[in-house]
A and B are shown apart, each in its own frame.
Chain A
Amino acid sequence: MIEKEDPVISEEEAAQYDRQIRLWGLDAQKRLRGSRVLLAGLGGLGAEVAKNLILAGVKGLTLLDHEQVSEESCRAQFLVPVTAQGQNRAKASLERAQNLNPMVEVHADPDRIEDKPDDFFLQFDAVCLTGCSRDLMIRVDQLCSKHKIKVFCGDVYGYYGYMFCNLGQAHNYVEEKPKVVKPSGESNDGPEAKKAKVDPNETTMVKKTASFCTLKEALEVDWTSEKAKAGLKRTPVDYFLLQVLLKFRTDKGRDPDPQSFPEDSQLLRQIRDDVLESLSLNSDLLSDDFIRPSLRETLLTATSSSSTVVKAMAWWTTLDQTERVRLRRFTGKLQFVLSDYLWQRLFCSFSFFSFFFYSWIHFAPKSDTRTAGCFLVFYIC
C-alpha cells in the first residue's frame, strides 16, 4: 500500500532527481516517493542498500539493527563514524544516512528483529533482510507475502553472496514497447527513403504477470523428485553452499570466521555432509576443494570485500512461462551463478544493494509499472 502520492513533484525534487527521472520516468519516481522500506542489518551490505534507497528518494527507510558497532564495523561500511564504537549500529549510521538525502525520512531502530511482532512489518511496502537467520527470513517472508509486502533477502560472505526476492504470487506490471512504424508508400526507394523508424509517439503497454515462490519453497526443494533431479544439473552448486552457510549461522549464531579457521572449516565440512545427506544428494556435489580455498582466501577478506560493490542479477520476466515455472519449482527464485576465471576458486561477494534498488524501482503493488522479476543471484565475475 504505497501511500497516496502527491502528484506534484517539487522543484527541489525535480532538480535533484532529474538524472534518474530521465531514466525510469516520473511515474516510477513518484512511486518511490510514496514507499516505506524496512532494512534489517547495517553491515557492509546493509549500508550499501541504505545508501541506494535513500539516494533514490523513497518516502521512508527504517534501519533496524540490534548489533553494536565494533572496530570491524567502521571498516566494513561508511555510515558509521569511527568514534561510534559501542553504540548501536543502526543509531550510529543514522546521521550520515539521513545526510545522504534530507528528503527521505530515515529512522533507526535498535531492537532485535526476532522480537518484532507481526504487525511491525505491516507498516512497510518492502522489507530488506540482511544478516538474518534462515528461520527468521522464512517467517518474515511468509508473513509479508500474505500482506502483499515485497521481500528481499541477501547476504555477503567474503567473496560470496546471494540475493532472493519475493514479489508475490501474482505480481502485475507492464512493459512499454515501442511500435515500429513502416514508412509511407511514396518514398520507398531513392536516397530519401526512410528506414522503418520507431515512432516515439506509438507505444503499446504490454501487461505481464510474474509469479514468485516463497523463500521456504526455494530453500526446501525436494531433490528426490524426478523433475528436481533433472533440474539439478542446471542448478549452480552455490545453492548448496548457501544452505551450508545458513545452517552454520543457525548452529553457531555467527558466520564462519577466519580467526577460528581450523574449527570453522571442519564444521563447514561437517555441515556440508549433513546438508547434502539430508537432501539425498551426493556429498561430492560440493567438494572440499570448493570450500577450503573459499574459506582460506575469501572469508578472510570478509571485511573489506563486503564493501565492494556488486550487483545481483535481475532475472527479467522475459523468460517464457514454462521456464519460469520449472525454475520456480526447483529453486524458486534463488539463483547462483559461478564463473571461475576471476580468481580460481574465489568467489566474489556482491552487495545487492543495487539490485534491491533496481528491482524496487521496477515494481509496484499496483499494475502499470515496468518491472523485473527479481532473483537472487550472486555473481562472480
Chain B
Amino acid sequence: MVQLVGSLRKELADSISTCKILVVGAGGIGCELLKNLVLTGFKNIEVIDLDTIDVSNLNRQFLFQKKHVGKSKAQVAKESALQFCPSANITAYHDSIMNPDYNVEFFRKFMLVMNALDNRAARNHVNRMCLAADIPLIESGTAGYLGQVTVIKKGMTECYECQPKPAQKTFPGCTIRNTPSEPIHCIVWAKYLFNTKSQQQSPIRCFILQLFGEEDADQEVSPDTADPEAAWNPEETAARATASDKDGDIKRVSTKEWARSTGYDPVKLFNKLFKDDIMYLLTMDKLWKKRKAPTPLDWHQLENSASGLKDQQVLDVWGYCQLFQHSVETLRSQLQEKGEGAELVWDKDDPPAMDFVTAAANLRMHIFSMSMKSRFDVKSMAGNIIPAIATTNAVIAGLIVLEGLKILSGELESCRTIFLNKCPNLRKKLLVPCVLDPPSANCYVCASKPEVTVKLNVHKTMVLTLQDKIVKERFGMVAPDVQIEDGKGTILISSEEGETEANNSKFLSDFGIRNGSRLQADDFLQDYTLLINVLHVEDLERDVEFEVVGEAPDKAPPPQTNQEEVNSITNGNKDSAQPSTSSKAFKEPSNLLNDLNGLQYVWDVQLNQFYVNY
C-alpha cells in the first residue's frame, strides 16, 4: 500500500492498517471521508448514521444511487466502499450515536473519531463521549462553499463546547403573531399555523400540529393581546370586540377548536386569518405608529379582481389564495382519512404541507407589505435547507484525513483548524489554517468541575422546562439525572423513565429551590456532571424562560464579507503558524463551525448565497 522507506513512514503505514476508527455520519462529508479512508489504507472502520437515503442526497453523496433511495445510509455506504476495497473491514450501524449502546467503552475501542454530522446536539454528544473516553476527535462541517475542520483532544485543545455558540435563533411571540417584518417571520407563523415545531438539532424532526393536529401554546398564531407594545386600554375593548371575527372570539377559543368548528372551510379560515385577525391587529394602533400597518385581505374582493397573470416563480395574491384553498382541502381530507383524533406531521417534502406553508406565509407577507417569495425560496427557509455540493465536502474530507494522519503520527501539535473560504483572502489563500486553542478554563463541559449559573424565576419555571429546555436542549444532556444539593440530595429528575414524571408540572420553588440553590445534573452515558447555580429573578425578557449567566447575547455571526477580512487578519503573518496577535480574529472564524450546524441559514436565490436568518 504505502511504500515504505524510513522508519517514520512505516510506523504510520502500520498504524493506518491496524487502527480502528469511527466515522459518525454517512452523508455528504461521510461518503467522501469513507472513500478517502479506504483508499488511504485504513482497514478497520466503523460508520454510524441514523438516516435513510433521499433523492436530494444524490448530487453529492456519491456512494448512493437512485436505486438506494429509502435504504440505510450507513449500510449502503459500507457496501459501496467495499466495492472498491473488498479487503476493508467496515461495520455499519443504522442507529443514532446518542443511543446508550454507544457508551464510553464503545468509544474507547477507537484510536480516532471523525465527525461527519449536520447538527449540534449530536456534535455536543460526541464531543462529550470523546472527552470521557479521551480519544482524539476530528470535527468538521460544511455549508455551500464553506467548510471547516478542527481537532479536539482532551486537555490539549478546546473542546467543541469551550466557546459559547450562538443559540438557535428564535423570534419573540409578538413578532410572529403581531408585527412581522421579515419573510421568515411569516414563514414561521405559517408553520406554527400548521403547527410544526421543527428541531434544527435533530434530523428526526418532531412536529406538532396546530391547525390540523396537536396544539402547542407556544405556537399560537392569533393576535397577541398581551403584547406589551400594544398597551391597549380598556376603553378600546369595545372596539376590539366588534373588530374581532364573527366566527370565534380570539381570546377564548384556540385556533384549532375554532377551525374544527368551521369544518376547515378554506374561505372561512382565510377570512379569519387574513382579514379578521388583521383587522384586530389594526385596532392595536400603538403598534403601527412606527411601522407600516398591515392591510387585510378579502377573499371575494380578490376573487373578482383576479388578473389571471401568473409570474413564473412568484404567484400573485389570488394565486396564493387558490393555493391556500387547495392545500387546506387536501390536508383536510388527509386528516379525515386518518380518522378520529388524528394528527398530521409537517414535512417539507409533502406537497400539500409545503403548499400550505407557502400560501399562508405569502399571504401574510403581502398583508405586511413584504414582497412574496416563490415556493422554492419558502421551502429553503421553512425546511431549513442548507445548500450543498460535492466538492466542498470532498475538500473537507481530504483535510480530515490529513489531520488524522498527523494525529496517528503523534504530531498533534501540528494539527490545525482549517477554514475553507469561498474567496481567497488577501494572501490569496482559500484554505486558512489556524493554530488550535487550548481548553477554556471556564468551559462548562471540559473544565475539571464544570459549573454554570442560570437565571430563572423559581416560581414560574417547571421541572419539565428545566429538564427539556435547560438541561437537555441548552446543556446537551441526553438522559439527565438532576438532584438538589440540599443536604438531602433530593432527586428532581431521574433518567429512569417514569420515575420522576410526577415532578414535571411542579415548579422549582415547590422543592425549596430558591436564589442560590445548587443543582447537580449528571448524564451517565456522557460521563458528565454539571453544577447549576440558580439565580432567581422576577423578570426576564419577553418570551425568555431562562438565561445562562456569562453568555454573550444572542448575536448573529458576522456576515460573509467580514469573515474574509477576519481571515486575512488571522493569516496576517506570512507564516501562518504564528498565532495571530488579535485574539478576536481567532474567535470569529471558529464560529463558522458553530454557525454551520446551529444557525438557520436562509437561501436567497437572488443574492445567490445563503445568509444567516436574523
Q: Which residues of A contact B (CB under 8 A)?
A: 15-20, 22-25, 44, 48, 51-52, 55-57, 74-82, 96, 99-102, 176, 178, 186-187, 190, 192-194, 198, 200-201, 203, 258-259, 261, 296-297, 300-305, 307-311, 313-316, 318, 335, 337, 339-343, 348, 350-351, 353-355, 357-358, 370, 372, 377, 379, 381
Q: Looking at the assembled complex, report how far the CB atom of B542 sits from the nearest CB atom of chain A, in whole angstroms.
A: 12
How far apart sit A260 and B10, CA to CA, in the bound complex (Å)?
18
Can you list, as one digit per residue, whether each of B28-63 has a CB less than 8 Å from chain A (1) or not (0)? 000010011011110000000000000110111010
> A201 to chain B: which residues have CB within 8 Å?
371, 606
> A17 to chain B: which residues have CB within 8 Å?
59
How far apart sit A353 and B369, CA to CA, in the bound complex (Å)?
45
> B58 to chain A: which residues have CB within 8 Å?
16, 55, 101
> B56 to chain A: which residues have CB within 8 Å?
15-16, 18-19
Beta-carbon contact of B395 and A311 below 8 Å: yes
Beta-carbon contact of B62 and A100 below 8 Å: yes
Beta-carbon contact of B428 and A52 below 8 Å: no
> A379 to chain B: which residues have CB within 8 Å?
429-431
For A19, give its contact among B1, B388, B397, B418 (CB under 8 Å).
B388
Q: Kindly state whether residue B2 has any CB partner on chain A within 8 Å.
A: yes
Instruction: Using known A-B contacts A25-B608, A77-B39, determine if residue A52 contacts B391 with beta carbons closer than 8 Å.
Output: yes
Beta-carbon contact of A354 and B607 below 8 Å: no
How far apart sit A3 and B107, CA to CA, in the bound complex (Å)?
53
Q: Kindly state whether residue B222 has any CB partner on chain A within 8 Å.
A: no
- B427-462: which residues lie under 8 A (CB-CB) from chain A? 428-431, 433
Could you give 6 example pairs across A and B, Cβ below 8 Å?
A18-B59, A22-B387, A313-B431, A341-B577, A350-B398, A370-B608
Instruction: Using known A-B contacts A55-B390, A309-B394, A381-B399, determine if residue A300 contacts B60 with beta carbons closer than 8 Å.
Output: no
For B9, give its contact among A81, A297, A335 (CB under 8 Å).
A297
Chain A residue nearest in CB terms to B54:
A15
Q: Kindly state whether residue B242 has any CB partner on chain A within 8 Å.
A: no
Chain B residue nearest in CB terms to A310:
B398
> A311 to chain B: which residues have CB within 8 Å?
391, 394-395, 398, 420, 430-431
For A203, give its contact among B36, B65, B575, B607 (CB under 8 Å).
B607
For B40, give its contact among A51, A307, A372 (CB under 8 Å).
A307
> A20 to chain B: which residues have CB within 8 Å?
59-60, 387-389
Beta-carbon contact of A307 and B39 below 8 Å: yes
How far apart sit A203 and B606, CA to CA, in the bound complex (Å)?
8
How far apart sit A13 and B4, CA to CA, in the bound complex (Å)?
46
Beta-carbon contact of A341 and B576 below 8 Å: yes
Can you list, as one digit per residue, whether each of B136-180 has a CB less than 8 Å from chain A (1) or not (0)? 000000001100000000000000000000000000000000000
Chain A residue nearest in CB terms to B145:
A23
Most buried by B among A75, A82, A297: A75
Chain A residue nearest in CB terms to B396:
A309
Instruction: Using known A-B contacts A176-B607, A311-B430, A381-B416, determine if residue A23 contacts B39 with beta carbons closer than 8 Å.
Output: no
Beta-carbon contact of B2 and A308 below 8 Å: no
> A192 to chain B: which residues have CB within 8 Å?
290-291
Instruction: Using known A-B contacts A82-B86, A308-B36, A308-B402, determine if residue A314 contacts B430 with beta carbons closer than 8 Å.
Output: yes
Interface Cβ pair total, 8 Å cutoff: 224
> A348 to chain B: which residues have CB within 8 Å?
402
> B243 to chain A: which residues have CB within 8 Å?
none
> A300 to chain B: which residues have CB within 8 Å?
2-5, 9
> B4 to chain A: which residues have CB within 8 Å?
300
How far apart sit A96 and B181, CA to CA, in the bound complex (Å)?
50
> B86 to chain A: which residues have CB within 8 Å?
82
For A341, give its contact among B420, B433, B610 (CB under 8 Å).
B433
Q: Kindly state whether residue B263 has any CB partner on chain A within 8 Å.
A: no
How far apart sit A190 and B55, CA to CA, in the bound complex (Å)?
48
Q: Kindly state whether residue B536 has any CB partner on chain A within 8 Å.
A: no
Q: Kindly state whether residue B583 has any CB partner on chain A within 8 Å.
A: no
Most buried by A among B181, B291, B386, B402: B402
How far apart sit A370 and B608, CA to CA, in the bound complex (Å)?
10
> A315 to chain B: which residues have CB within 8 Å?
424, 428
> B2 to chain A: which residues have CB within 8 Å?
300-301, 303-304
Q: Kindly state whether residue B504 has any CB partner on chain A within 8 Å.
A: no
A-B pairs, 3 with minimum CB distance: A309-B398, A354-B391, A23-B387
> A44 to chain B: which residues have CB within 8 Å?
39
> B396 to chain A: which residues have CB within 8 Å?
309
Chain A residue nearest in CB terms to B388:
A19
Chain B residue nearest in CB terms to A342:
B414
How far apart sit A308 and B404, CA to CA, in the bound complex (Å)?
12
Most buried by B among A24, A307, A357: A307
Beta-carbon contact of B3 and A25 below 8 Å: no
- B94-146: which residues lie under 8 A (CB-CB) from chain A? 144-145
Instruction: Using known A-B contacts A20-B389, A261-B5, determine if residue A310 contacts B84 with beta carbons closer than 8 Å.
Output: no
Instruction: Using known A-B contacts A258-B5, A370-B608, determine if residue A16 contacts B394 with beta carbons closer than 8 Å.
Output: no
Beta-carbon contact of A342 and B402 below 8 Å: yes
> B392 to chain A: which residues have CB within 8 Å?
354
> A339 to chain B: which residues have CB within 8 Å?
433, 575-577
Q: Kindly state whether residue B83 has any CB partner on chain A within 8 Å.
A: yes
> B416 to chain A: which residues have CB within 8 Å?
341-342, 381
